[in-house]
Chains A and B, each alone.
Chain A
C-alpha cells in the first residue's frame, strides 16, 4: 500500500474487555514497531518485529499486552482485560531494512479509550 494503515482509527472499550488493533505495514517492509502514546506525551516503545520474529518486547507494560505478526506482514496488538490506564493512541511504524538507518514510516494510529 501507499502507507502504513491502522485500524480501527478509534476504539472505545469497556473496562475488562479485550481489544485487537491492526497494523498493515508498507508492502515489503521487514521491520515493524508498536508504540503507545499517552495524551500529551511522546510515544513509548512497546515491541519490535523483524519479519515474523518478535525480537524485542521489552516495552510491553504487562502480560495483558500481546503482539503478533504471524506471516511477517500484518501485525495485531491485543490487549486483554483492558484497564483505564490503557487509554492511549497506539502507533505502528514500519521500515524497509533491519538496520538502524532505515527511515520509519508511521501510521495514523488507533485511539483507544477505556471507559
Chain B
C-alpha cells in the first residue's frame, strides 16, 4: 500500500515571499501521479498542480512549482510571491497509474500542511 507523509503540520510565510511545503511518499510502483491540493475553509479540494512520475521535468503552474525527486520519493511544492489568498490547508496526494487495478483510481492523501500567509 502507498503512504504519503507531510511532516509540516503548519507553515507560515510573509506575503510576497516564497515558501516550500514538503511531501514524501512510499510506493513500489514505477508509474504514478502526484498531486498538490488546496483546501480553503469552504472545504472544497482544489487541484493546484500535478506531476506524472514518468516525466523528469518538474511541473509548474504560474506561481506554483514542484521539486520532484523520484529516487528520493520526494515531492515538494514551492509557492512564489505568496498571496493572502494562498492561505489554506495543502494536501499532497498519490494515485497509481495502473488502471487495471481496482484501487488504482483512488487518491491517497497526506495529513496536510496548514499554510498561513502574513500580511
Stretch at the interface among B11-19, B60-68, B93-101: B93-101
**Interface residue B42 (Cβ < 8 Å from any Cβ of A):** yes
Contact A104/B112 with A43-B45, A56-B102, A93-B45 known, Cβ cut-off 8 Å? no
> Which chain B residues border A41 with CB–CB below 8 Å?
111-112
> Which chain B residues border A42 with CB–CB below 8 Å?
4, 91, 93, 109-112
**Interface residue B83 (Cβ < 8 Å from any Cβ of A):** no
**Interface residue A12 (Cβ < 8 Å from any Cβ of B):** no
Within 8 A of A (CB), among B100-115: 102-112
CB-nearest residue of chain A to B43: A109
Distance in angstroms between the alpha carbons of A33 and B33 in the assembled complex: 17
Distance in angstroms between the alpha carbons of A100 and B32 in the assembled complex: 9
CB-nearest residue of chain B to A47: B106
Contact A91/B45 with A42-B112, A101-B33 known, Cβ cut-off 8 Å? yes
Which of A43, A48, A56, A59 touches B109 (beta carbons < 8 Å)? Answer: A43
Distance in angstroms between the alpha carbons of A45 and B95 in the assembled complex: 12
Q: Mark A89-107, 1 if CB is under 8 A from B, else 0.
A: 1010100001111011011
CB-nearest residue of chain A to B44: A108
> Which chain A residues border B99 with CB–CB below 8 Å?
98-100
Distance in angstroms between the alpha carbons of A54 and B103 in the assembled complex: 12
**Interface residue B47 (Cβ < 8 Å from any Cβ of A):** yes
A103 to chain B: closest CB distance in Å? 6
Contact A100/B33 with A43-B109, A107-B44 known, Cβ cut-off 8 Å? yes
Within 8 A of B (CB), among A18-76: 31, 33, 35, 40-45, 48, 55-56, 58-59
Distance in angstroms between the alpha carbons of A107 and B45 in the assembled complex: 8
A43 touches B107 (CB 8 A): yes
CB-nearest residue of chain B to A38: B111
Q: 9 smallest A-B Cβ distances: which pairs?
A: A42-B109, A106-B45, A45-B106, A109-B43, A108-B44, A56-B102, A108-B43, A100-B97, A42-B111
Q: Could you list 5 A-B pairs, sorted by A, with CB under 8 Å?
A: A33-B106, A45-B106, A89-B43, A100-B95, A111-B43
